[in-house]
Structure 1
C-alpha cells in the first residue's frame, strides 16, 4: 500500500476557464469571479454572490462556466466519481447536487470516454437528488464555494480505459458478474458466518475461473489487451485499515493498488476482469467487516466494556491484516495447480501490470498503520476475517 505526491494546480486565473467579458452577463460573472474565486475570504465571497444574485441574465453564463470547470477537471485526470466524492467530503449535500448537475450538463457536449466513465455518469443520475430551491444569494454563494474548490483541483494520474482488442464471448461476461454479485449480496445479508463464508468462497471461485479464462483468451488474440486502471473510494473513518484491505484484495487478483490518502481513493491497476473482481470483492468484504464490527461492539457493551474509536480502528486493521495473510496462503498453495501452458501467460500479465503501475506512479512511499492499540479490537477483527473468508479458494496466481 502506498501513497503518492501530486502536483498543485496554479492559482493563476489564467489557468481557469475564462469567458468573453464583452457582454453584460459575462462581465458580471467575471467581476464575481475576480472578487470570490481568487481569494478565500468570506467578505469577497459575499461580494461575488451579491453581484450574481443581482443579475439574472448572468445565470446561463454561470452554468456554462461551471461546465468549463468540470471539463478542466477531466483534463487534469479527474473522473465523475472522484469529483463527487471530493465535493461530498469537502462541502455539503447542496454542493454535491450542484456539481452532479454540472457534470450532466458538460457530458452532453463531451466525447465518449469508455464503459467505466459511462457507468459513473449513470450512477450519478440515479443516486443524486436535485438541488433544493433557495434564494438567489444563497444559491450564488453555493456556486462560488463549489467553483473555488474546482479551480484548485490538482492534476491526477490519467486513467487509461483501453478498448479491448477482442470480442468477449456473447453474454458470458455479464452472466458471470450477475452470478458473482448475487452470491456476494447473499453473503452480506446473511446473519450466519458459515453461510457467508461459503457464499464468498463460491464467488471467488467464479472470479478465479473467469480471470484465467480471460487470460487464455487474451493470449490467443492477435493483439493482446493492455492493463487498465480504476479508482476506488477509501473513505474515512479508518481509511488506513480500509486501504490495507483493498491492497490485499488487489494483490490476490493480480492487480496493484496505490493509495492517495489526501483524496480518499486508491488507484487499482490491472486487467479488466481482475479490476471488476477487486471492486466487487472489496466492497463486499467491507460490508461484511462493518457488520461484524457492529456485532462485536454490541457484545463488548453487553459485557460492560465501552468500545471506542481505537477498538474500531484495531478491529478493521486486524481484519485487513488477516485477510491479506489468508489470501497470501491461498495464492501460494494454488501455484502448484498452474499448468505449464498457463504459467507464461499469467507471468506476462503480472509483468504488464507492474510496468503499467510503475509508469503511472514512478514515486511511491510506504505508510504504517496508526492507532492500532486495542487488543480486544484486534482479536475480534482477526476472528471476523476468519469467518468472512475462504476455506478452499482455487485461486490461480
Structure 2
C-alpha cells in the first residue's frame, strides 16, 4: 500500500483579501473583519479567538463581508486542489457538526458563481445540498466563534494534487453506461442487504462480472477511437476507525480493476488513478465490500460474545486487516484468471492502458512510501476476517470476448 505526504503552500492566504481592505477604517464592515482576522486567524490562542468573535458580534454590518470572505476561502481551497467532499471530510474530522454545516453552506453558496467542474464534482454538490440542514439559531458571539474556528482551518489548508475529471470522448450506445451502472448498483445493494453469505457472494460476483465486461468493452472502444481517452483520478474517503485496514482493502480493489490507489492518511482519503469506467467500478465495489465487512464483523462479534469472549478494538482491527488481505489475494487470483481468457488481440490494448495508469500515477505522486499495518494482534479476529472475506469472494469471471 502506498501513501504520500503533503506540505502547505507558503503564500495564497485568502484571509488577507489581497490587501484590498487593510487600509480601510475600522468603522467599515471590511475594517471590522480585517481586525477580527488579525486578532483570531493567525493566533491560535483562545483569548485571540474571543477577541475576534467579540468584534464581529458587535458589528452586524460586517456579516455580509464575513460571508464573502468565507466564499473566498472556499474558492482558494479549490485552487489548492481540494474538492467539496474533501473539505467536508476534513472539517468533520477536525471540528464539530456546526462547523460541517457552515462549510457546507459556504460551498453551496460559492458554487452558484463557480464554473462547471465535472460530473463527480456536481454529484458532491448535490449530496451536500440534500444533506445540509438549516443553520441553527445561536447568539452572535457563538456564531462568530464558529466562523473564525472554521476559517482558521481553511486558512491552513495545504495544496493537494489537482484532479482532472476525464469524461469519455465517446459512448458505446445511448444510455448503455448508465444502465450498466444501475444493474451493478442494484446487485451490490442486494449483496449488502442479505443476511445469507452465499447469496451475497453470488450477487457480488455477478456485479464484478459486469464490471469486468464493461471495462473490456471500454478498452476496445477506446482503442478504436480517433482520440483515445487518458487516465483520470478521484478521491475516495478512508474514514477512521481502522483506516489502515480500509486503505488496504481499497488498494486491493483498485489493483483488481486496473487502477492505482495512493493513501493520504492525514486527510482521510485515497486518490485512485485509472480510466473512468474502472474508477466507477472501484468506487462501487469498495463501498459494497466495506459494508459487507462491517456487517460480517458485527455478526462475528455477536457470536464471540455469545461464547463468553469479550471482543476488543484489537479484534476489530485484526478482523478488517485479515478481510482486506484475503480479499486482495482472491481478487488477484480472479484478475489473473481473467487475463488468461482475453483474446490475444486485446492483450496489447489492456497492457497499454496499464502503462498509461502507472505513468499517470507516477506523475501525480513522484514520491510515495510503503505503509505497514499496525495493531494486528488478535488471532481470532484475523481468522474471522479471513473467513468473512472468503464468503465475499469473487468467483472467476466468464471468458471475455
| TM superposition score category, shorter chain reference | over 0.9
Cα 1:47–1:192, aligned 2, differ >3 Å: closer, same or farther? Answer: same
Mapped to 2, the partners of 1:26 and 1:238 lie a distance apart of: 45
Mapped to 2, the partners of 1:136 and 1:287 lie a distance apart of: 41
Q: Confirm or deny: 8 A CA contact 2:338 2:396 kept in the other structure.
A: no
Cα 1:14–1:63, aligned 2, differ >3 Å: closer, same or farther? Answer: closer
What is the match of residue 339 of structure 1?
343
Compute the displacement of 1:335 (Å): 2.0
Cα 1:253–1:370, aligned 2, differ >3 Å: closer, same or farther? Answer: same
Compute the displacement of 1:391 (Å): 2.4
Mapped to 2, the partners of 1:9 and 1:355 lie a distance apart of: 25
Q: Confirm or deny: 8 A CA contact 1:3 1:259 kept in the other structure.
A: yes
Q: Confirm or deny: 8 A CA contact 2:341 2:399 kept in the other structure.
A: no
Compute the displacement of 1:8 (Å): 1.8
What is the match of residue 196 of structure 2?
192
Cα 1:294–1:164, aligned 2, differ >3 Å: closer, same or farther? Answer: same
Mapped to 1, the partners of 2:202 and 2:387 lie a distance apart of: 16
The C-alpha deviation readout for 1:288-344, integer Å capped at 9, x for no partner, is: 000000000010011110010000000000000000000111112222101111101
Cα 1:66–1:332, aligned 2, differ >3 Å: closer, same or farther? Answer: same
Compute the displacement of 1:22 (Å): 8.0
The C-alpha deviation readout for 1:151-177, integer Å capped at 9, x for no partner, is: 000000000113432244210011010
TM-score when normalising by structure 2:
0.96
Mapped to 2, the partners of 1:338 and 1:95 lie a distance apart of: 51
Q: Confirm or deny: 8 A CA contact 2:201 2:391 kept in the other structure.
A: yes
Q: Confirm or deny: 8 A CA contact 1:254 1:274 kept in the other structure.
A: yes
Q: Confirm or deny: 8 A CA contact 1:16 1:151 kept in the other structure.
A: no
Mapped to 2, the partners of 1:274 and 1:59 lie a distance apart of: 45
Cα 1:15–1:396, aligned 2, differ >3 Å: closer, same or farther? Answer: farther
Mapped to 1, the partners of 2:326 and 2:142 lie a distance apart of: 49
Cα 1:395–1:63, aligned 2, differ >3 Å: closer, same or farther? Answer: farther
Compute the displacement of 1:58 (Å): 0.4
Compute the displacement of 1:129 (Å): 1.4
Compute the displacement of 1:111 (Å): 1.0
Q: Confirm or deny: 8 A CA contact 1:26 1:58 kept in the other structure.
A: yes
Mapped to 1, the partners of 2:109 and 2:263 lie a distance apart of: 30
Q: Confirm or deny: 8 A CA contact 1:33 1:48 kept in the other structure.
A: yes
Q: Structure 2 stretches of 5 or more lacking a match?
A: none
Alpha-carbon RMSD across the aligned residues, in angstroms, is: 1.8
Mapped to 1, the partners of 2:387 and 2:341 lie a distance apart of: 28
Cα 1:15–1:156, aligned 2, differ >3 Å: closer, same or farther? Answer: farther
What is the match of residue 164 of structure 1?
168
Compute the displacement of 1:23 (Å): 6.9
Q: Confirm or deny: 8 A CA contact 1:162 1:228 kept in the other structure.
A: yes
The C-alpha deviation readout for 1:361-388, integer Å capped at 9, x for no partner, is: 0000001000000000000000000001
Find 1:221's aligned residue among 208, 212, 225.
225
Cα 1:16–1:244, aligned 2, differ >3 Å: closer, same or farther? Answer: farther
Cα 1:138–1:22, aligned 2, differ >3 Å: closer, same or farther? Answer: closer
Q: Confirm or deny: 8 A CA contact 1:208 1:395 kept in the other structure.
A: no
Mapped to 2, the partners of 1:396 and 1:83 lie a distance apart of: 41
The C-alpha deviation readout for 1:203-250, integer Å capped at 9, x for no partner, is: 011111111111111111100011000000000000000000000000
Mapped to 2, the partners of 1:182 and 1:297 lie a distance apart of: 28
Q: Confirm or deny: 8 A CA contact 2:246 2:324 kept in the other structure.
A: yes
Mapped to 1, the partners of 2:259 and 2:121 lie a distance apart of: 20
Find 2:100's aligned residue among 90, 96, 101.
96
Q: Which moved more, 1:387-396 or 1:82-91?
A: 387-396
- Structure 2 SS opposite 1:231: strand
Q: Confirm or deny: 8 A CA contact 2:167 2:276 kept in the other structure.
A: no
Compute the displacement of 1:128 (Å): 2.0
Cα 1:251–1:194, aligned 2, differ >3 Å: closer, same or farther? Answer: same
